[in-house]
Every structure is written in structure tokens, then in C-alpha cells.
Amino acid sequence: MFKNYLKIAWRNLWRSKSFSFLNISGLAIGIAAASLIIIWLLNEVSYDRFHTNANRIYNVYNSDLNDGKIGCWNTTPKVMAKAIQQDYPEVETVVRVNWPQQLLFTVGDKKLKAAGNFVDSGFLKMFSFPLIKGTANTVLNNNYSIVITESLSKKLFGNEEAVGKTVLLDNQDNFTVTGVLKDIPTNTQFDFEYLIPWSYMRTKGWDDDFWGNNSTNTFVQLKKEASLASIAPKIKTLRSKYDKESPKMETFLYPISRSYLYGRFDNGKESGGRIETIRLFAIIAIFIILIACINFMNLSTARSEKRAKEVGIRKVVGAEKKSLIGQFLGESILISFIAGVLALIIITISLPYFADLVQKKLSINFSDYRFWLAGFGIILFTGLLAGSYPALYLSGFKPVAVLKGTFKKVNALVTPRKVLVVTQFAFAIILIIGAIIVRQQLLNAQDRQTGYSKDNLVYSFLEGDIEKNYSLIKNELLSSGIATSVTKTSAPITEGWSNSWGIEWQGKNPHDKTVIDRYCADDDICKTAGLQIVQGRDIDLDKYPTDSLAMLLNESAVKHMKFTEPLGQIIKDNDKDWHVVGVVKDFILKSPYRPIEPMIIEGAAGWFNVIQIKMNTIKSTRKNLAAAEAIFKKYNPNYPFEYKFVDEQYAKKFDNEKRTGKLAGLFAFLTIFISCLGLFGLASYMAETRIKEIGVRKVLGASVFSITRMLSKDFLTLVIIAFAVGAPLAFWGMYKWLQDYPYHITIEWWVFALAGFTAILIALLTVSYQAIKAAVANPVKSLRTE
Amino acid sequence: MNNNMIKITDLEKYYRTEEVETIALNKLSIEVKEGEFVAVMGPSGCGKSTLLNILGLLDDADGGSFVFNGIEVAGYNERKRADLRKRNIGFVFQSFNLIDELTVFENVELPLIYNNVKAADRKKRVEEVLDNLKIMHRRNHYPQQLSGGQQQRVAVARAVVNSPKLILADEPTGNLDSSNGNEVMQLLTELNEKGTTIVMVTHSEHDARYSHRIIRMLDGHSVTENILI
Ligand SMILES: Nc1ncnc2c1ncn2[C@@H]1O[C@H](COP(=O)(O)OP(=O)(O)O)[C@@H](O)[C@H]1O
Ligand SMILES: [Mg+2]
């Protein structure tokens, strides 16, 4: 019996090729698109869950009341680890991980930079990053040992054995390689190519015991039998025992398996984070599969007139309803199987592009049985989902009715088929509107005035001898005509690295704990970065030697500090008295989506990390950079000259929204495309079943136009209803999305008009092709097919 | 003669549409004995096909009684009717009703599949029947590749492959020319001679003469019965 089903299913597929093509390609695209999303989401949800002890590892967080709101963050004092280890018997190990650090590696003549972490020696026991060489217990035991990844080892030593070899780091100390790690996977919050023991920091004097210096990440692994519930209330008040400055600040443990997906806090509570994106795209994946299935259902039931006779005959010769249901489900599973194979090809080809789009390293592990299990699961699921309605519908035909020819398709006001088409197009319209609004928001933020000039501005980090030779480098850059202005700053102009609520000025409310951005620039910052001076002047060390304690304020700071006469004010920060020499127009330091915060710029007495160079436009950028490289090489010979363009860095602030926009656009396109495949099929069946009617009408004098209109009208009505359903949903969803951005657009009516118009136009084009084809056909032909 | 295979009493069937109610069968009572060959005649629309569908357990009556082989089957649900049907009844239609996607062999095989006959037995049975009806050489053809007469022979083959006790034929020669028609009537007569009960609807007095008895219907009623033997 099964063979018979398969045979007839196969012949049916073969006989109605265009139907099969529409069906299979729609399903294949749907399965492929959904699978790509699933592959991506699986990578996201697997973040840091692969560690053997994942469910016992926690990240240490602080929470503190500030301005009436609870803030949570995960940088802790370096000494906290010791206190936790001593005070709580529940704790097995504590490991500190400092911020990722770029170091210069020198091996013989080879010099290259790599990023990695200083970590406590228990790191590799706590986290499951497998070693190829060396043992986790001992590799980090010596001050000057270093563990590197396989690919860094390749870069440094080629195919030679790395363990035992020596590398010079940052031209200062020699380290011995004690272990080689397998390259770390992409689904972890860590990103390092080397690990250096924390004890090295101590030898350098970089370790400290200040409870006020919240600067490192601390991870805790609880003992097997210990529970979070038992330690949580105790660790909460940890600081009251040690921290004289902020004894009320609370401490809590947060599971590492949650931190990637959920680690965003709002007033002390988890407030979503990446999980929201994941939920959104999971819904999109489900909907895309659903839409492809809807195609299948629509096309199958539209063909019911053709299949009705077969059903009738089978019933007459003894088929029961359940065996017919089996037959139709078998057919749909066969179709979805073929579509699945096709989808696998599509996925394999498109995965690299998709991975690029979502900025993840994604791959399929074909040797993993779970992949095949999931694949067959999806195929079976799709086949059953798509086939269930047609199977019930078709198997329900009464043989008497269909064989006598009195079987007529129902033309009710609401039929399941119409509901399905409306669902499809409503979803497509929602995605179109979403894509347009995301794009608008992006353009709007991109168009926002930065308040400084990004053009021809490059920067480099103060590495090696750059800081020592800074004035020589600066002079040479200026005198050789490469640069028009050079300034040393605390951070790139696109990033805020420092802030404080401890800044004091005259008239400050003692309860004011507003965080103010802190930036440092030695000289000429307004000229270099193109900041606009509203009052006073730029910092100018040549003319005013006291300007090493000069300060600039932005307009928001002036407003916040309630200065009527800002110039000449004295502002205290870091135990220094700064005098305000100028006010600059607000500029975007951090997020282009947020309001600009109060900001101070401190003069040469501050601290510096970056050299910013405004290029002279007389020569080409390429020539300028080549000349600059020579100068940097001269004064900082051990380091490669590396620089970044401010405009490129600024553009990166939009990567997330660009990605969201592209994804929404892509899936909107796919949804529309799949829906149109279905619509095309439906229209062709409609034209086919009404061919005689059309013939008669033409004979009686109907024009091609009136027939086309008659055939297209029904479908257009459905798309318009879909718009009425989809538009409010889209408005609601996008309104909520925009609320995450303090600086955002307002939703305008024309977006909906455009989306509706697009959907209608595309549907019209799809349907009218079939309608016109039917309308221009020679009626003599169609009437003869009696 | 023999036992009653079919005994219907006061059978009623209505068709309701939005505008009108049609009485297709109006308190119809007939009997058919085992081994009989009965022809049903009457003007178009008098309820012949409706009667045949009810006899074939394809459709429900709205009133009256239907005793099939001594068992009351009026009120059987669809599953029970399907079960009874597939074991006892074969159909032949005016428009052949073969499945276009299946070959001659596969079409004839179908009732055996639904009766869970094993593949080897099926092959034997189908070949036997095809041989009998002289269409063995067409076994791998599709219905559209056959003439009308050949198609109807396939339909007859399919109706008898399961050795049903009753064959219901609704204008089996309606779409055939007279020589093909006669061939089909010959086939039915042979089957009847081997013991199969046959109820046949026809418009042709010529065909009706192959039967033992003619039931004439008018407006859902049986009006006269002519006994031919
Ligand atoms: N499905 C149906 N719906 C409504 N009326 C029907 C249906 N089938 C048959 N009829 C009506 O019932 C009557 C008997 O039909 P039928 O049994 O097909 O007649 P016959 O086969 O004798 O020509 C006719 O008047 C016909 O119009
Ligand atoms: Mg009839």
C-alpha cells in the first residue's frame, strides 16, 4: 500500500510539474531560510553552555542605588576575589579575568599583535577550553608562562613545537610557552589568543588592593553540593565588611550561561538583552516555515477538483478515510523531503553569506547525528504541517458527489484558503513595514550631526615609545605637511572611556550623582577634531602655558552645572583644579541614538592613550599615511604602525541596526517571494477552472481588461484585508522597538502606504500574469475542450 | 428462487439546496435476489443513480429500511459502510472513473490493496482477471492510452477482481458505441452466469434485455416491473 502511495505521489509530482515546482521551491526556500535562522540562534543560545561546570560558574556583579535607580555592572575590585575565596565555604574557585589586552609578540624577527587576557591560574580548570599541549593544572603556575591558541602558535612558530619556546612581549619581558589551546569556539563571551597568569601583573605592580577600583571581571565556581540560594544572601553584603568607601554597594552572582543572552539590567532587574532578538527571529523562522506550508496547503486544496475524482474512486473501491489521509500525508512528506534536500543545498551555499550578515562564524557539523535528526525532524514537521489540512480536506470528499460531477468548489465569503492567503500577506506586510522603519531609523541616526569633523581624521594608540617621543612625532607630522593638527587624547573621539559622578564645581548640589563624561586632550582638540567653539577658546599650550590645567565643557555640561558665566569657573576632578577656558557645541561621543550627556575635556595634566591626527588634504591619504608610517617607525621602531579612520569607526556604531535592517529586508523579500509563488499557483488554477466561463464571456463581448480585472479582483481584496490586519500589528511592534532608542524617528503614515502599495503591486503583477494569459486565450479553443 | 440479497422498504432520499428540496426517492420498495440480473430504467432525474448509490453504500438514505444480505444497514456510519462495501460490492460507471495516474494493472489492483491482499496474490488475481477480459496486453498502459471500450473493460475488471457478490453498474454502456457496448453487456452476462448479482441502470431497452427483470422508475417511485425470464 505504501509503495502504491509513493508511486502515485511521484507520478502526481511529475505530471503537474509547474505545481510541483512552485510547491517544492516555496517549501525549499522556506525551510532553508528558517534553518539558517535556527543555525544562527542555536549558536547564540549555546554561549558558554559548553563548559563542563557551566551551571556552577557565576560572574560577580555589583548593584548600587544611584539617582533613585539600581545600577548593575560586572567589574569588581581586584581584591574581591580573595575575600570571596576566604569568606564563603560554598565557593570552590575564584578566577579573575582582566580586560582583553593587545600585546606585541616578538619571536626572532617576527612581530605581531595579539589580544588576550591576564587570568588567575584556575582559569583553565574553571572553563572548558581544551589544551592540546600542557595540563590545565600547571600551565599558568609561573609568572612568566604563557598559554597560546593553536592559530597563534602557527603564526608565531609555524609548524614547530611551541611549548618551551620563548616570546618577548611588548619589548619588556620574555615568556615561556607552557601550553597550546585549541582555538576557542565562537560561542563564548571570551575572545583571546593568549593567557598570561595574573601573578605576572603582581610582579609588574599592576595588581592592587583598592576596593574603590572596580576594574576586573571575577568568576566564581561553586562547589557541587553548594547552592546559589545559600550563598546569595551572604555575599550580598560582602562590601560592608571590606569597602570603607561604598559599604552599601551590593554583590551578587550571575550565572554565566545567562549573561550573554539575558545580561542586561534595568533598575536591578534582568531586562531582556539578546534574548529579545532571538525570540523575534525564532518567531520569524516559524512564520517563514508556516508561510511556505500555507503555499502548499493552498496549492493542494486548489487542485482539489483534480484530485477529487481520484478520492472518489478510491473510496468506491474500498479506501477508508484514514488510508486516504495517510496517502496525502505521504505525498506531502515526499514533497517536503525533496524540498529538504534542495534546502540543504541552498543552506550550504548561502551559509557563509548569512554568517557574514549576522557577523557570526557559523558552520554545519555534518558528522553530528543531531544535525540529521533535526533535519529530518524539520522535514517531517513541515510535511505533516503542510499536508494535514489538504489531507483532511481531500479525504473528506463524498464519492457520490465527486463522481456524479455535482461537486462544486465552495465560493464562500470566508474560506480557509482565503484566510491563509491573508495570513501570508499580513506577515509579509509587517516585515516590509519593519524593514522600512528600521532603515529610516538608521538613516536618521546616521544623518544626525556628530558635532565634529570625521573627515581625514585618523588615530593610533600610544604604544611603546610613542608617548615618550610624542612631541617629536607631533612636530615632524606638522612640519612635514602630513597633518594640519595633532592632539593627544584619553580615548578615540568615537568612544567614551571614562566618566565620574565625583566631579565638583561651585554650586553643585551635594546629592547630585549625575555621571559626567570625562575626556582628556592636551592641545588644539577643537582644531584637530573640528569641534565648534561656542564661547572662549581652544586649549592652547603654546600661548598659555597654564593650559595644562585648562578645561573645556560641552553645552550640556554648562546647562547641567547651571553656569551663566562658564568661562573662568574652577572645576575639581582627580584632586586637581581645572579652569574652564571654552565651551564647545555638544557632539556625539558615544551612542548616536542617545541624548548627549554632560562632558568635560581636561587639558595636558590628564592621562592619554590615543594620538589623533588631522590629515592635510593637499596630499593623498595614501601618501600621508606612508609618510606618517616612516615617522612612527623612526620613533617607535618596535611596533608596527597601526591606525584607524574615525569615519570608519563611527560607521561601526550602526552595525547592529544595519544588520537588523538587512535581515528584516531579506526576510521580507523571502516572505513576499514565497507568498507570490503560492499566489501565482492559485491564480493559475483559478484561471484554469474558469477557462470555460472566460471563453463564454469573451464570445459575448467581454474585453481582455474586464476579464483581467474580474480575475484579479478577488486576490486584491485579500491583500487589502491582509494590509488592514498587518499594518496595526506592524505599527505596534515598531513603536515598541523604537522606544529602545531615546533618539528616534516618529512613525509616518507614508511608510504604511508604501508597504501596502508594494504588496498590492507585487500581488497584482503575480496574479495579472495568469489573468491576462487566460483573458487573451482564444475562446474557441477553451470552449472546444468539452 | 434464492434468498434476498437486497430488500429495501419505503426508502426515502431528499436533496436540500438553498432554494428547493428535491425528493429523489419517494417511499421506494424493491427486492433483489441473490444471482439476479436486474435492470433499472426510467427518465433522466427519476432517481436511478441515487438508488444505486444507496445500494452501493456510497450514500445514506433519509428514511426507510435497507436490508443487505439479511442485515439492516440503514444508519451505518461511513467506516462500517466502507468496510461492507469493499468486501461485497463492485462498481461500474458510465464515465469509467479510472485513476489517470495509475496503469491498467494498478487500477485493477486497487480494490485488492484496500482489502489487504498480499502482493503475490494480488498479482495473480489481477493477471487472471485481465486475461479473462482480454486486456492483458494493455496492462502497463495508462487509461488515456485506451479506447472507451477498453477503459470500460478495465473498469469491469476492477469491479470484479475482488469477486464481489454484487455489481452495481450505472449506465455502463452510456459512453460506448454499440459494438463496444455489446461487449460490455456480454461481460456482465457472463459474470452473472457465474453467480454475481447485478443491478444495472440503463437507458437502452436493448441492453435491458440482457437482464432477468426490469424495474421502471418515475419520480423516485417504482412503477412497474417486467420479468423477462
Ligand atoms: N447532489 C444533489 N443535489 C441536489 N439534487 C440532486 C443531487 N443529486 C441528484 N439530485 C436530484 O435528485 C433527482 C434524482 O437524481 P438522480 O438520481 O441523479 O437521477 P437519474 O440518475 O435517474 O438521472 C434529480 O432531480 C436530481 O436533480
Ligand atoms: Mg443518473
The model's pLDDT over B168-200, given as tens digits with 9 standing for 90+, comes to: 999 999 888 888 889 889 989 999 999 999 999
pLDDT tier at A785, thresholds 50, 70, 90 = very low
- DSSP-derived letter for residue A521 is B
Model confidence at A772: pLDDT above 90: no
CA atoms within 13 A on the CB side of A538: 18
In this predicted model, what pLDDT tens digit does every residue of A312-323 receive, in sequence order?
A: 888 888 888 888
Confirm whether pTM is higher than 0.95.
Answer: no
Model confidence at A459: pLDDT above 90: yes
In this predicted model, what pLDDT tens digit does every residue of A399-413 receive, in sequence order?
A: 877 776 555 555 555
Other C-beta atoms within 10 Å of A75: how many? 15
Closest to A218 (Cα-Cα) out of A233, A232, A198: A198
User: In angstroms, what CA-CA distances link B224 with A94, A403, B23?
Assistant: 104, 29, 19
* Mean pLDDT in residue range A92-119: 92
Amino acid at A329: L
- DSSP-derived letter for residue B136 is G
Angle between helices A369-395 and A321-358 (to 10 degrees): 140
Amino acid at A570: I
Amino acid at A769: Y
Q: Ligand 1: which of B49, B170, B218 to mutate, judged by most atoms within 8 Å of the beta carbon?
A: B49
Amino acid at A446: Q
Model confidence at A786: pLDDT above 50: no
The grid cell for B219 is: 419520480
Task: Name beta bridge partners: A505.
Answer: A571
Give the list of residues 6+ apart from residue A529 with CB closer than 8 angstroms, or none: A452, A453, A457, A487, A493, A587, A612, A614
Q: How far apart are CA A738 and CA A740, in angstroms?
A: 5
In this predicted model, what pLDDT tens digit does every residue of A27-58 receive, in sequence order?
A: 999 999 999 999 999 888 888 999 999 999 99
**Interface check B58 vs A, CB under 8 A:** yes
A462 SS3 class: coil
Measured in angstroms, how far is the CA atom of residue A77 from the centroid of ligand 2?
Answer: 94
Share in percent of chain B as helix, strand, coil (round to 5):
35, 30, 35
Contact A163, A179 (CB under 8 A): yes
pLDDT tier at A483, thresholds 50, 70, 90 = very high
User: B113 to chain A: nearest residue by CA?
Assistant: A1
Amino acid A355: pLDDT: 92
In this predicted model, what pLDDT tens digit does every residue of B50-77 receive, in sequence order?
A: 999 899 888 888 999 999 998 999 888 8
CA atoms within 13 A on the CB side of A204: 13
Most A CBs within 10 A among B22, B84, B103, B113, hence the mutation to make, goes to B113
Q: Answer whether A320 sits within 8 Å of B83, measured CB to CB.
A: yes
Amino acid at B144: Q
Query: Which ligand places an atom closest to the C-alpha of B59?
Result: 1
What residues 291-350 of chain A have any CB closer than 8 A to a CB of chain B? 309-310, 312-321, 323
* Mean pLDDT in residue range A301-308: 76
**Interface check A400 vs B, CB under 8 A:** yes
Q: Which residue among A309, A310, A318 sits closest to B115, beta carbon to beta carbon?
A: A318
Q: Is ipTM beyond 0.90?
A: no
Measured at the alpha carbon of residue A330, what is the angle toward residues A327 and A333, in degrees to the nearest 5? 155
Amino acid A781: pLDDT: 63
Q: Which residue among B59, B101, B110 sits closest to A317, beta carbon to beta carbon?
A: B110
Strands of B63-68's sheet, edge to edge? B21-33, B4-16, B63-68, B71-72
- DSSP-derived letter for residue A263 is -
A595 Cα distance to chain centroid: 23
Amino acid B167: pLDDT: 94
pLDDT tier at A116, thresholds 50, 70, 90 = very high
Q: How far apart are CA A701 and CA B13, in angstroms?
A: 43
Closest to B44 (Cα-Cα) out of B181, B178, B200, B220: B220
Alpha-helix residue ranges (DSSP H) falling in A116-225: 123-126, 150-157, 198-204
Task: Name beta bridge partners: A218.
Answer: A96
pLDDT tier at B16, thresholds 50, 70, 90 = confident
- Mean per-residue pLDDT of chain A: 88
- Contact B50 CB / ligand 1 (< 6 Å): yes
**Interface check B81 vs A, CB under 8 A:** no
**Interface check A408 vs B, CB under 8 A:** no
Model confidence at A708: pLDDT above 50: yes
Measured in angstroms, how far is the CA atom of residue B75 from the centroid of ligand 1?
Answer: 21
Other C-beta atoms within 10 Å of B220: how many? 23
**Interface check B84 vs A, CB under 8 A:** no
Question: Cell 495568469, residue?
Answer: A770
Measured in angstroms, how far is the CA atom of residue B45 from the centroid of ligand 1?
Answer: 6
